[in-house]
Structure 1
């Protein structure tokens, strides 16, 4: 696992645009909606639409470079764990993209004072869940290099969208935060398992 973490962080930091491009996209979308001044809908827009587009863009090249270079095929042939590979990719995005995005969203939009911790956790869970689901689409479209992501994940994310709206628009944390956690656990386990199987098939 340490080897995968070292590689992913090294590759990510080697190309600065991997960090500033997603943050810039998120910031621009966020500011557009602030300028449009949608009032109470702003929280929903900032927490989902901006995040949705940003994570979608990040996921487009999640596995493409590793597939093109033969790294994925090599890992599979050598029997190395793809779970640690996916965990390393998630960790990089969590620390270098998702946490800064959450801080940025809080800095500009703010959360309700008495629910700051819960909303920050919800924000990170939301971004992480989107990451896992978009990775599924990215794995499927890895060879063909097309945008099947949205078609694949949108039906699966309909309950998720409702949860996000309940949490960030209506500030209805209970029981929606528990449901969001369940969605995250589902995506971190079952969806990642599906991604691993798809990567094995795609790399043959």
Structure 2
């Protein structure tokens, strides 16, 4: 696990675009919505749209390089755990990309219509859930090298999008935060379980 974490953090630090590119995309999209001067509630919606697009862009390359250079296949052949591999990728992205994105959203929106801690937590959960689902699309599209295949999982996110809208636009934390957590648990377990098997199939 420690080696996997060091590897993933090193990959992000050694390739700075892995940090500044998603944050730049997120910031630019967010800035566009601010220039359009929507009211505060729609600013929350704009932060979700910016997050949605940014996480989708990030997910395109989640497994691509490791698949092309044979790293995933090597891990499987050596009997090394893919669980720690996925976990390390998530922790590195959470620490270096999603936490800064949450900070940007918090600084711009302020979450003044509700408890800041709960909204910040919900925002991180939202980003993490998007990350897991779009990684599923990324794993599916590895062989065909077509990131548009990742769009196939968007129908699975329709209930999730409704939950996010009720939390950040309608400011209804309860019971929607509990449902959001349930969606996160589902994505962190079942979706990642599916990703593990898809990666093994794709690497054969």
Q: CA separation in 2, counterparts of 1:192 and 1:57? A: 19
Q: CA separation in 2, counterparts of 1:32 and 1:22?
A: 15
Match of 1:156 in 2: 156
Alpha-carbon separation, structure 2, partners of 1:113 and 1:148: 37
Deviation per residue, 1:138-188 (Å, 9 max, x gap): 0010111102111x2211000000000000001100000000000000000
Q: Deviations over 1:82-122 (max 9, x none)?
A: 01000000001100000000000111111026510000000
Q: How does 1:21-100 map to 2 (within 5 A)?
A: 21-39=21-39, 40-46=41-47, 48-100=48-100
Kindly report which structure 2 residues correspond to 1:96-115, keeping only aligned pairs within 5 A, or say none: 96-112=96-112, 114-115=114-115
What's the CA shift for 1:189?
0.2
Q: Across the two proteins, how many residue pairs are aligned to each other? A: 202
Secondary structure of the 1:142 match is coil
Ranges of 4+ aligned residues in structure 1 off by more than 6 Å: none
Offset from partner CA, 1:42-92 (integer Å, 9 cap, x none): 11111x110000000000011010011110000001111101000000001
Q: What are the within-5 Å matches in structure 2 for residues 171-186 of structure 1?
A: 171-186=171-186
User: Closer, same or farther in 2 for the Cα pair 1:99/1:14, shift >3 Å?
Assistant: same
2:13 alignment counterpart: 13
Contact residue 113 and residue 171 of structure 2 kept, 8 A: no
Residue 124 of structure 2 aligns with which residue? 124
Q: Decide whether the 8 Å contact of 2:114 with 2:171 is kept in 1.
A: no
Query: In structure 1, the residue corresponding to 2:62 is in which secondary structure?
Result: coil
Q: Is the 8 A contact 2:63 2:139 kept in 1?
A: yes
What TM-score, normalized by structure 1, do the two folds share? 0.97
What is the Cα deviation at residue 197 of structure 1?
Answer: 0.2
- TM-score, structure 2 normalization: 0.97
